[in-house]
Every structure is written in structure tokens, then in C-alpha cells.
Structure 1
Amino acid sequence: MIVIGFTADQFGQAALEHGIAEARLRGTGVLVVNATAGDAYTDSTFASPDRARDVQDRLTTSGVPFEWVQPVGVDAATELLNAMERADAELLVIGVKHRNPVGKLLLGSVSQQVLLECPKPVLAVKPDA
């Protein structure tokens, strides 16, 4: 299974597309995780019901078996790392933002944590230019 860390932006879309491609190559399914701590009135990375429906439609048309989860009140990095503890989890796919030279020293907190702590391979992707 390919675990995809989805965010409702171009970076999450890149992760979704690369995750689907990896699942096809490996003949497996995907688990798409769109998590939020829920500690703010709005979280721009958490998919609205309409956006979630669009993602699920994309997954359905891809033909890849999938699970879609949207845990609320959780730390996104911890949720992704927990998903990677599943015996069938092979690869974690996350989207990353382009950073300036100083920003490259510090990735986003979720990206940095999963890259450093995930015991299995992590594929960090960015959207096409």
C-alpha cells in the first residue's frame, strides 16, 4: 500500500498523482490521509467536503484501490507515521514546497518530521512548474 499525505493544495495534488502512479507500478492500493489538528477555525490544507469528493472521484477513475481518511484533532505527521506502521505500507508520498536557500535548512514541520522519522521509504514530490 502507498500512503499519501494529502493537502488541499497543489502540493497535495502532486502527492496524489505520484502516489497513484506508484500504486499502479507496484500493483497495490493507496491510503490517502488528509489530517488536521483542528486547532483553528480554518485549515487551508484540510479538504472541504467538495474537495474531498473530487479527490475520491479521481481515485475512483484511477482504478487503484483506495482508502480515504480525514482524521480531525490529530498531528498530521504523527498520523502519517502511524499509517506507515501498517504491515502493508510500502512507501509514503508527500508534497513539498520550494524553499529559498535559508528555507531549505528547515522544511515544513510535517515534511521534516516524516522524512527524519519514517522507517520506510518516503517520496517527496513537488508540483510541475
Structure 2
Amino acid sequence: MSIIVGYVPTPEGAAALEAAIAEARKNKTLLVIINSSRGDALVDKRYAQVEDIASIEERLKKEGIEHIIQQPVRGNDAATEVLQAAEQHRADLVVIGLRRRTPVGKLIMGSTSQQILLEADCPILAVKAAPAH
């Protein structure tokens, strides 16, 4: 069993990662971090850089959290990669970060989040980043 987190190097991604780490620590389970790109990883700001991944890896090793970090570049959208990882690793939980939205934006949730919420076969924990002050 496992916890899957969709990670992007943004405040929302960091909030999702923190929540997923806390759940993995509490449940003593495998943490699978998914950070994907459709194929434009060199210009995709949502694709984590080597230094970012190395920092996460170092932290998880220090904390003794069993983990896998995957950065697939297969042409799939992020939702597909997260859902496939959830199925492959028999996820107990999927953690995603949500962006703050304008009133109109709140009416229509982002397609990645919406697809994961509607299609996942396990519970979803959706978190927001702390507001900037």
C-alpha cells in the first residue's frame, strides 16, 4: 500500500508534499512522488529541477520515509500519471494541491484536479497552500 502525491514546484505542490509526508510518516507507508511532464521538461516550470528533487530525496532519507520519486516524460498529462501510479502502487491515498481561484475560477475546478478527484479509486486529500502575507 502507498500514498501518492502529485508534486509540482509551487506553493500548492509544496503543501501537497508536506501533507503526503505527514500521512506517510503517520501510517508508516510508502510515499510515491509523481512530477511529470508531457515532454517539454526543459521549459515546463511545473517539472522539478534536479536540485529540487535532490533536496526532497535527502529530506525523506533523513526522516526514514520509504519513498519513490518518479518524473515520467511520456506525453501523458499529470492526472493520468498520478492515476496510473495510484493503480500501480495500490494507493491508500492520493494527495494533490489546489490553487486559489478567482470567484469565476471557483466555479470550474482545474482539469487535473477534477480528473483525479473523479477517477481515483481511493480517497483523495486536496490541500491548499497557506496564504501569502
Letter of the 1:69 counterpart: Q
Letter of the 1:71 counterpart: P
Which residue in the other structure is 1:51 paired with?
52
Which residue in the other structure is 1:29 paired with?
30
Distance 2:15 2:32 in 1: 15
Kept after mapping to 2: 8 A contact 1:34/1:69: yes
Kept after mapping to 1: 8 A contact 2:4/2:31: yes
SS, match of residue 4 in structure 2: strand
Instruction: Structure 2: state its 5+ residue gaps.
Output: none
Distance 2:89 2:50 in 1: 30
Per the TM alignment, residue 48 of structure 1 is displaced from its structure 2 partner at its CA by: 0.9
Greater displacement, 37-46 / 63-72: 37-46
Kept after mapping to 2: 8 A contact 1:20/1:62: no
1:38-80 per-position Cα deviation (integer Å, ceiling 9, x unaligned): 2475111100111111121222222210000000132211111
Letter of the 1:95 counterpart: G
SS, match of residue 90 in structure 1: strand
Distance 1:62 1:97 in 2: 28
- The TM-score, its normalising length taken from structure 2, stands at 0.89
Instruction: Structure 1: state its 5+ residue gaps.
Output: none
Distance 1:77 1:101 in 2: 24
Paired residues in the alignment total 129
Per the TM alignment, residue 124 of structure 1 is displaced from its structure 2 partner at its CA by: 0.5
The percent identity for this pair of structures is 45
